[in-house]
Amino acid sequence: MTEKSEFDSPMLRTALAQLDQTASRLQLDQDIHERLRHPRRALVVSIPIRMDTGRTAVFTGYRVHHNSVLGPTKGGLRYAPDVDLPEVSALAMLMSWKCALMGLPYGGAKGGVRCDPRSLSRHELENLTRRYTAEIILLIGPDLDIPAPDMGTDEQTMAWMMDTYSMTQGRTVPGVVTGKPLIVGGSARRREATGRGIVYALYQAARRLGQELRGRRVVVQGFGNVGSVAARLLWREGCVIAGVSDIKGGIWNPNGIDIRQLEAHVAESGGVGGFPGTEAISSTDILFQPCDVLVPAAIGSVIRGDNADRIKATIVAEGANAPTTPEADVILRDRGVTVIPDILANAGGVVVSYFEWVQGLQYYFWRESEITTRLQEVMTRAFNRVWALATKEGTDLRTAALMEGVRRVAEGYRVRGLYP
């Protein structure tokens, strides 16, 4: 399989363009700006595994560290057919800004394996995960780089990673990954942290705009771990969840969908399609339905320059990574749509991952109420900083969030200097 050029990626070009624009606004030192444009290190590995049929298949995996100036690197691991080096590099860069924005002592990282996890058996997924972990083991560790689950991976994936790493160390090392099952050192509330963080960010945005969340009509694209949690919590807050979609399609009911019943339907049927009392709609068209709040929580680049004028929401809370292109950002801003950017809106996952990491290092675990309270505090403080900066600079929330995140990383470089 031919590898793409490291610069031949819309997502990476977007991330670099955002950095360049932010550096210009901040009047960043040119030398530091140049360092920020490049990942510190990137590893590409071959992952040979024995399939259930007995044959050997070879997959390609990646792990990228964007920077570690503020601490060990942190970032998810995704299994998807279109994973490549440019995508992983872009996502590692976004993680740098996200961690810095939230005030976490981390740099940004990301990992991925090019595969279709739905076509692999549990045994094959375990073999893939363990061999991938062995191949990147020189880059990971509780003081070096801490992976977490992302698209196509979950708690079980992290348990296999932790076990593989621990076997090489001769001791159990819970701090090497986050997003683990509770029984092996995971944190309470980690699974729902990203979705819960979106709700906290939306609450603050609504308050600043003089609105209430209760009674708002909401559309959620993506009913995976992030979207389903956000939908459930918003529904409990009194929002009307009018539209939901997953990879197979979407459903629409302007009068509202009972999320508790929908979750039972998904558990039984495997998807949102066919839920009683709703109209079938495509997962793309769900974006353009009339609503107050839109939560794109599926994949990147779904709101683009050629469709942003069809968005009817007044608030867009980005649950996915990079769901809005720069061209679409301009259109939405000109139309008065408030976009809560991904590095702020979906940061709840990495915040509670940080809590899990701290708990694992101390072998002391917190109560659920402590975690929820601390997550809300961190999300609220970050949102307020971004809102204040956006107001001061007369700009949108994404620009302000990037300015805050990039500034913190750049300051770390300035203070530490250049070795040798």
- DSSP of 166-204: HHHHTS--GGG-SS--GGGT--TT-TTHHHHHHHHHHHH
CA angle 3, 6, 10 (to 5 degrees): 105
What number of other Cβ atoms are within 10 A of residue 84's Cβ? Answer: 22
The C-alpha atoms of residue 282 and residue 244 are separated, in whole angstroms, by 10
Asked about 392 being catalytic, the answer comes back as no
- DSSP of 282-325: -TTGGGGS--SEEEE-S-SS-B-TTTGGG---SEEE--SSS-B-
- Map tokens 């509670």 to a residue: 352
User: Closest by alpha carbon to 13, among 301, 316, 287, 284?
Assistant: 301
Catalytic residue among 98, 110, 312, 392: 110
Q: How many CA atoms lie within 13 A of 135 on its CB side?
A: 23
The C-alpha atoms of residue 302 and residue 330 are separated, in whole angstroms, by 15
> Do the Cβ atoms of 319 and 234 come closer than 8 Å?
no
Stretch (H or E) spanning 26: helix 10-26
- DSSP of 217-229: EEEEE--SHHHHH
- Indicate the SS3 state at residue 53: coil
**What is Dmax (Cα atoms) for the chain?**
66
Backbone angles phi, psi at 241, to 5 degrees: -85, 100
User: Closest by alpha carbon to 396, among 290, 347, 324, 348?
Assistant: 324
Please give the positions annotated as active site.
Answer: 110
